[in-house]
Amino acid sequence: KQEVTQIPAALSVPEGENLVLNCSFTDSAIYNLQWFRQDPGKGLTSLLLIQSSQREQTSGRLNASLDKSSGRSTLYIAASQPGDSATYLCAGTQGGSEKLVFGKGTKLTVNP
């Protein structure tokens, strides 16, 4: 059974700092990987999708990479802002399945 671990569980940084969030899968055979943002009491906002043929995606200050050999993904946030404060979730699918398996998330707080 696929399990997803996100480290750290919580992170507090000063505004302007660059940071890295980590995600690892027990089964490294990840087909697609998505990073999401969830604000308190809200749904999920898709941030980045790394499809099966890709290794990296960038959107603005966000960069996500996937190492399929190890089943690890990182989300890099540059020049963090207070508005980045949220819980960040990673999720992946495995070949032949559309089901997303989620980690528990990293709660990020960016202090002004």
Partner 1 sequence: GAVVSQHPSWVICKSGTSVKIECRSLDFQATTMFWYRQFPKQSLMLMATSNEGSKATYEQGVEKDKFLINHASLTLSTLTVTSAHPEDSSFYICSARKQGRGNTEAFFGQGTRLTVV
In the complex, minimum distance from the CB of residue 28 to partner 1, in angstroms, rounded to a whole number: 19
- Site for partner 1 (CB under 8 A): which residue of 14, 41, 96, 112? 41
Q: How far is CA 38 from the centre of its chain?
A: 11
Contact region with partner 1 (CB under 8 A), list: 16-24, 63-71, 76-84, 92-100: 92-100
In the complex, minimum distance from the CB of residue 65 to partner 1, in angstroms, rounded to a whole number: 17
Structure token digits, residue 9: 């569980």
Task: Output helix, strand, coil percentages for the chain, rounded to the nearest 5.
Answer: 5, 55, 40
In this structure, the number of other CB atoms found within 10 A of the CB of residue 71 comes to: 19
Q: Which amino acid is at 4?
A: V
* Site for partner 1, residues 42 to 71, rule: CB under 8 A: 42-46, 49, 51
Q: What is the DSSP letter of 82?
A: G
**12 belongs to the binding site for partner 1 (CB under 8 A):** no
Can you give the binding site for partner 1, defined by CB under 8 A?
4, 32, 34, 36, 41-46, 49, 51, 89, 91, 93, 98-105
